[in-house]
Structure formats: C-alpha cells, structure tokens
Amino acid sequence: MDAAPGRPGIEPAGFAPRVVAWQRAHGRHDLPWQRSRDPYRVWVSEIMLQQTRVETVLRYYEPFLQRFPDVRALAGAPLDAVLAQWSGLGYYRRARNLHACAQQVCERHGGEFPRERAELEGLAGIGRSTAAAIAAFCFSRREAILDANVQRVLGRAFALPRPRDAASLRAMWQLAESLLPARHIEAYTQGLMDLGATVCKPAGPDCRACPFAADCPGPADAAEAAPAARASRGAARRTREWVLLWARSDEPDAARVWLQRRDAQGIWPGLWSLPGHDDAAAALRQAAELGEVLDQQAREPVRHALTHVDLLLRPLLVQLRARPRAADEAQHAGWFTVDEALRLGLPAPVRKLLGG
Ligand code: SF4
C-alpha cells in the first residue's frame, strides 16, 4: 500500500480504535434503529437503507414498524400489504425479500433471528455485509461489513483500487476482516457506516472532518470520482413515456378504478398499477373492452424518476359504464374502490394520482 507523498499511510492496527473514537465523538447516535438491539428492527433498517438515503428511510421506518411490529406480524401479512407499506421507497424487490425472509425466520428458526452471520446470510435478501451488520449490532459478533460505502473508505484509506473482480473483492474482504477490533464492534461498524455516509463521500470527501486526515494516502479515486459523478449526473437519461389508463366506473355503492398487477420483472415489479400503454389509442381500446366509454379527459403529465430511466406518465381518465366482470381468475386485474386500491402495493405516482 503506497502512501501519498508526504503522508505516512495508516497503520492498520490503529485503524479500528480511531474509527471507534471518532464514532463516539462525531458519529450518528440518534437514528431510531440505533436505539435497539432487536434484530427485527435492525434488519428492517438495514434493508431500507440499501440504496436509499437516511432522510428518506426516516419517513418510512417507524410507520412500517407500527404496521408490522414484529417478524411474525410481517410473515403473516399478505404480500400486498407489505408492498403497500413500502410504496414510495422504491426497489420493491427488497420488500418482497423482506416478506419472504420473515417467513423463513418463522418457519426455519421459530421466529427468532439467527445470531451467526453465516446463518443470517442464508435468508432471503440478506447478503454478507447486511448479515455481518446484524450480527455485529445485535449479537456483538466480530464480523466485517463491506458495502459500497465501506469499500470506498477502505479503498481510499489503504490506497486500494475499487474492487472490479472477484479476486480484488476477496482481498478487500480480507483487509476488512484483518482490521476488526477485539472490542466495541458496534461502534466500529457504525463508525465505518458513518464515515462512508457523511465524510468520505463519493464525489467529495470531507477529509478535514476525517480521523485519518493526517495520514490517509488520499482519496485516490476522488479525482476520478468527481468528474465521473458529474458525468453520470449530466449523462442523458432515457425517458419512457406511458399513457396510464385511469378507467373509472361509478357503481351504486362507490366509484371504482381498474388496476392491473404488473409482472414480477421490469418496472414496478409485482405492484398494482393503472395499466400503461404506448399511446392513447391503445389505452382507449382497453377502456372499450372494460365498458361503455362515457367521457375521457387527459390529465396533467407526471414525471417520475427511477434509477435508470425517467418515466413520463400521461394519465387518461376515462369514465365508463363497466361491463359486469369480476377480477380475472388469476387475480391479476380488477375493479377496486379507491380505499381498496390504496391498501394495495401501488407505485408512488399512481398512489398520488388516486389520492393517497
Ligand atoms: S475522508 Fe479523506 S482522509 Fe478520510 S478516508 Fe476518505 S479520503 Fe481518506
């Protein structure tokens, strides 16, 4: 490991104590999931925090726990209820895995989360780093985490390139394990997370606030990261346009809207949605199949950004007299009152359109 000119390089044996001391003085201490060693609460937070900023998770965490207060409540809930509660957090595969994992914990482990990283890793949606974080926070196990933030911190602190293949990733895991402290694994694990999230940030590390400012070899990738991040921000994003058929039928008891469950793959996997069409003609053809069209009205387009694509949604509100038709046999589509619809797992913009 070569240090930057004029800097001595970080002594591995002193790394963990400095992270622990920094975390105690400057790290985050007031996040709701830090108040508990309950693996259920910690696990929910770890899954929510994957690819999602803390500020966003803070809005969803407590309501999720109120709705599903323990692993049995989550395991016994319908998947649609879980997706509905997750609505707005995105990356819905996480919610499906959360539900599957809760059922595995109940079926295989009697409703108790296993304490060992290797066992946790066998559960749906729990990778090695997440398993290590749960084992460290809840059961004080000396396990190394190595999510993308921690890879960046260790890479910069020890002048290692970002792992691009299995061998270099393996080497970084070995480094991460060699740095583990004998004590205070919780503060150390939290400290690494805090450093990665708040100080050693991807495009602009705040080295002055870092405990390694004096001897870190330097943000070897920071010079590249800033332009790379700028380039990715500036790169032209693909826009996908959909006409959303918002079919509404006023029944004697209540107005109903037609919803379809989306495929398990692709955009909004497994969620219920107003059907998306390439153009208004296709949407109207479907409307005519659903009933006698009485009126139609194009609503204000809605933009919605996903990770790799921007959606431009053009809602087409079609008032119709529905033909008698129950939900299809596979229950992938049907008429729902707005109250019923809002209890389903809906994509955030559709939920907003329907009044949620
Ligand atoms: S914040 Fe700066 S000093 Fe600290 S680890 Fe990152 S690059 Fe090194």
Give, in order, the Cα–Cα distances in Å from 271 to each of 15, 85, 204.
45, 12, 37
**Predicted pLDDT at 283:** 92
**Low-confidence stretches of the chain (pLDDT beneath 70):** 1-8, 219-237, 325-331, 356
Which of 15, 194, 210 to probe ligand 1 with, by most ligand atoms within 8 A of CB? 210
Q: How far apart are the first and last CA of the chain?
A: 54
Question: 11 C-alpha to center of ligand 1: Å?
Answer: 14
Q: Looking at 11, 46, 251, 289, which residue is catalytic?
A: 46
Question: 218 C-alpha to center of ligand 1: Å?
Answer: 6
**Predicted pLDDT at 231:** 44
Ligand 1 pocket, residues with Cβ under 6 angstroms: 153, 156-157, 199-200, 205, 207, 210, 212-213, 216, 219
Atom of ligand 1 nearest to the CA of 211: 4
Which of these CATH numbers, 3.90.226.10, 3.90.79.10, 3.40.50.1390, 3.40.50.720, describes 238-354? Answer: 3.90.79.10
- Which residue puts its alpha carbon closest to atom 2 of ligand 1? 207
Which CATH architecture does the domain made up of 12-232 adopt? Orthogonal Bundle (1.10)
Q: How far apart are CA 336 and CA 327, in angstroms?
A: 9
CA dihedral 329, 68, 130, 217 (to 10 degrees): 120
**Predicted pLDDT at 41:** 97
**Greatest Cα-to-Cα distance within the chain, rounded to the nearest angstrom:** 80
- Beta-carbon contacts of residue 96 (< 8 Å; ≥ 6 apart): 79, 82, 83, 269, 270
Tokens read off for 149: 């933030």
Which of the 8 DSSP states describes residue 110?
Answer: T
Q: At 247, which amino acid appears?
A: A
Q: How far apart are CA 123 and CA 112, in angstroms?
A: 12
Domain map (residue ranges) of the chain: 12-232, 238-354
11 has catalytic annotation = no
**Predicted pLDDT at 220:** 53
- Which residue puts its alpha carbon closest to atom 5 of ligand 1? 157
The CA-CA-CA angle for residues 53, 57, 62, to 5°, reads 165
Tokens read off for 66: 């109120």
Which of 7, 22, 212 to probe ligand 1 with, by most ligand atoms within 8 A of CB? 212
If you search the block for the tokens 């079609």, which residue do you land on? 318
- Under DSSP, is residue 156 helix (H, G, I), strand (E, B) or coil? helix
Instruction: Please give the radius of gyration of the chain, using alpha carbons only, rounded to the nearest integer.
Output: 24
Q: Give the other-Cβ count within 10 Å of 228's Cβ.
A: 13
Question: 50 C-alpha to center of ligand 1: Å?
Answer: 22
Tokens read off for 220: 């070897």
Contact in structure between 171 and 154 (CB atoms under 8 Å): no
- Which residue puts its alpha carbon closest to atom 7 of ligand 1? 219
Question: 174 C-alpha to center of ligand 1: Å?
Answer: 20
If you search the block for the tokens 């199949």, which residue do you land on? 289
**Predicted pLDDT at 12:** 93
